[in-house]
Amino acid sequence: MTKLKLVAELAGHEDRVWQVSWDPLGTRLASCSGDKSARIWAPISGEPFFTTEHSEKPMAAAAIGGGASMDVDQTSASTWQCLDTIDNAHKRTVRSIAFEPTRGRALATASFDGTTAIWEKEGAYECVATLEGHENEAKSVAWSPSGQLLATCGRDKSVWIWESNGEGDFDCISVLMEHTQDVKMVLWHPMQDLLVSFSYDDSIRVWKEDDDDWYSAATLTGHSSTVWGGAFSPDGRFLASVSDDRTVRVWTQKCQASSAEDDKGFYYRPDSEFQCVAVVPDSVHSRAIYSVSWTAASAAASAAAGDYGFLATGSGDNTLRILRVSASAAAGATGSQSSALDIELVCERQNAHGLSDINCVKWNPVYPSWLATCGDDGIVRIWHLE
């Protein structure tokens, strides 16, 4: 019987918190907010935090302003601290934040002021580069798995790809203008240099590189409203996307039967074809879904073949939901290699952030059953799934 336990509440931001990001070691959490600042949080040093003993500490049923179901560890205030606050980050809301995924030394923030700043910690966090180019609000920033490329996107309908020049600065190598509306989020594949963008124009675009030239390899349509974001499965085979139409869709790349010797001409670029293999109906979430994150099945749970882990979704209906993804039972019956999936709601937490929207959910990359969420109430919360 899976359940979610609230383990820590990180308060400090003065406005809604838009996004959180774990560092590659899973021991630091960065958050960014409408109060124009970014904060870095960490467990109080000396304590190994992500152990089951810690999550099983006796809970005091604290009555927190009407949220009687919030069992908060009485000592949570003393288990996490705010290590750094980056106050002079930007002139407007900081909308997106991401730790560099190989060494976690650099941090990128994207703001409604159109710029993306790169920070490195030398004592305090210092801004080592400012990437300009977006005509208006920048909405998302993401590092490629190698840490060499950075993608940003914004309301000017463009996706920009930047490359590290080795001296801490970045050069713009591509500006992709295929979306017809505001681009809400960009996401890299966990292993390959493949980029996905999610847009207000209801579509998802997959971008690939061909000899240093980036192009749109696929357009995934199916959502009936703004696609707010998405997440890859940890093995990179599936992509989940969430939308204002209250559904979650899971996509996978169709096997390409073409041979490498096919010479379709000088300008031929291998397109990818994606198909939607699962849809969580709009009856599950009652308002727009803003964020999704995918974690592998934990070793303790039945990690049988066909168990693809858990999705966490954060929604405008104030509820945090955990869904289990597994291979469809029907696949075995027909005997065919069907990639259909079953998604089942296993746990939900209403009013996870009080009576406020949840803006971002992120599983810890190293400790797979720990989750960080943030919302319009200005608070970042850490949960444990058990």
Residues in the site for other proteins, rule: CB under 8 A?
16, 34, 92-93, 95, 112, 136-137, 139, 155, 182, 184, 200, 225-226, 244, 287, 316-317, 355-357
CB nearer to other proteins: give 76 or 140: 140
Query: Please, what is the minimum distance in Å from the beta carbon of residue 292 to other proteins?
Result: 16
Say how far apart CA 233 and CA 240 lie, in whole Å. Answer: 8
Beta partners for 240? 231, 250
Sheet holding 380-385, edge to edge: 4-10, 380-385, 370-375, 358-363
Residue closer to other proteins by CB (options 290, 363) is 290
CB of 286 to other proteins, least distance (A): 9
Shortest reach from residue 227's CB to other proteins, in Å: 12
Residues 6 or more apart in contact with residue 187 via CB below 8 angstroms: 142, 195, 196, 197, 198, 229, 230, 231, 232
Q: In whole angstroms, what is the distance from residue 339 CA to residue 61 CA?
A: 44
Residue 375 Cβ vs other proteins, minimum distance, rounded to whole Å: 12
Q: Of 234 and 316, which CB lies nearer to other proteins in the complex structure?
A: 316
Inter-residue contact 148 to 163 (CB < 8 Å): yes
Please state the closest distance from residue 22 (CB atom) to other proteins, in A.
Answer: 22
Q: From the CA atom positions of the chain, what is the Rg in Å?
A: 20
Select 3 or 287, whichever has its Cβ closest to other proteins: 287
Smallest CA-to-CA distance from 214 within 131, 274, 112, 144 is with 144
**Contact criterion met (CB below 8 Å) for 143 and 104:** no
Of 229 and 365, which CB lies nearer to other proteins in the complex structure?
Answer: 229
Nearest-approach distance from CB 319 to other proteins, in angstroms: 12
Q: Rounded to the nearest whole angstrom, what is the least distance from the CB of residue 188 to other proteins in the complex? A: 21
Nearer to other proteins, 104 or 154 (CB): 154
Cβ atoms of 22 and 97 within 8 Å: the answer is no
Q: Which is nearer to other proteins, 7 or 94 (CB)?
A: 94
Within 8 A by CB and 6+ apart from 384, the residues are 4, 5, 7, 55, 369, 370, 371
